[in-house]
Amino acid sequence: MSDPQADLPDHRSRLLEGMAHAVAAHGYAATTIADIVREASVSRRTFYEHFDGKAECLVALYEAASRNALKILRSALDPGQPWDTQLEQALSAYLDCLASNPVLMRTLYVEILGLGPAGLASRRRVNDEIAGFVLEVVNGGRGRRQPLSPQMATAIVGGINELVLDCVERDRVPAIKHLVAPAAQLVRAVTGHPRSP
């Protein structure tokens, strides 16, 4: 007989995927628990073993999607390339990832803010993780004279988030991938790295 606990992580992943599909099909407001469990091919009981409700599931999806985007950002770095090239490759990969699912992107960027303290706390955790990555990359780079402060790393993350949110609010999610140049310009300005000739 198999261990019933062995399937728990799989069920959670399926529920997050089910939430993503349901939200993409219906939008967050119209998505029901029934939609989520149908997409995940699990029972309602299984849903409630993992989440208290739809909002908690959305927070978990937001954090999982954000960590996936951060993973893509990390993997796009190539230390063998000049700093400018690394910056633009990483931003391009990150922004392409965000733009790949317009409905989900809108839900994650807009609806998370409507969840109150839980949504804001989740957003802060994610932004802190990304700011930590920025600090690690910028302060670990060659030729950096003055370390980037945690506040300025947070400013970079906040600035890029605002550029993305502007596209989301204007229903121009596909245009997110065209934010590489202004996002790179922001990073250069804050870090003091001039554009390579």
The one-digit pLDDT tens for each residue of the chain (197 residues) are 333 434 455 899 999 999 988 988 888 889 999 999 999 999 999 999 999 999 999 999 999 988 888 999 999 988 888 888 889 999 999 999 888 888 778 778 888 888 889 999 999 999 999 999 999 988 886 555 678 999 999 999 999 999 999 998 898 988 998 999 999 999 999 988 766 65
Neighbouring C-beta atoms of residue 52, cutoff 10 Å: 9
The DSSP-derived string for 22-54 is HHHHH-TTT--HHHHHHHHT--HHHHHHH-SSH
Do 164 and 186 form a contact (C-beta atoms < 8 A)? no
The pLDDT value given to residue 140: 80
Q: How far is CA 196 from CA 79, 83, 87, 185, 193, in A?
A: 16, 8, 11, 12, 9
The pLDDT value given to residue 81: 87
How far apart are alpha carbons 91 and 160 in whole angstroms? 10
Kindly state the DSSP code that residue 170 receives in the 8-state scheme.
Answer: T
The pLDDT value given to residue 1: 32
Neighbouring C-beta atoms of residue 195, cutoff 10 Å: 10
The pLDDT value given to residue 2: 34
How far apart are alpha carbons 100 and 120 in whole angstroms? 24
How far apart are alpha carbons 40 and 20 in whole angstroms? 10
Q: How far is CA 95 from CA 26, 79, 109, in A?
A: 24, 20, 13
This prediction's pTM = 0.83
Neighbouring C-beta atoms of residue 84, cutoff 10 Å: 15
Q: Cite the DSSP H helix spans in 28-178.
A: 33-40, 44-50, 54-75, 83-99, 102-110, 117-140, 150-169
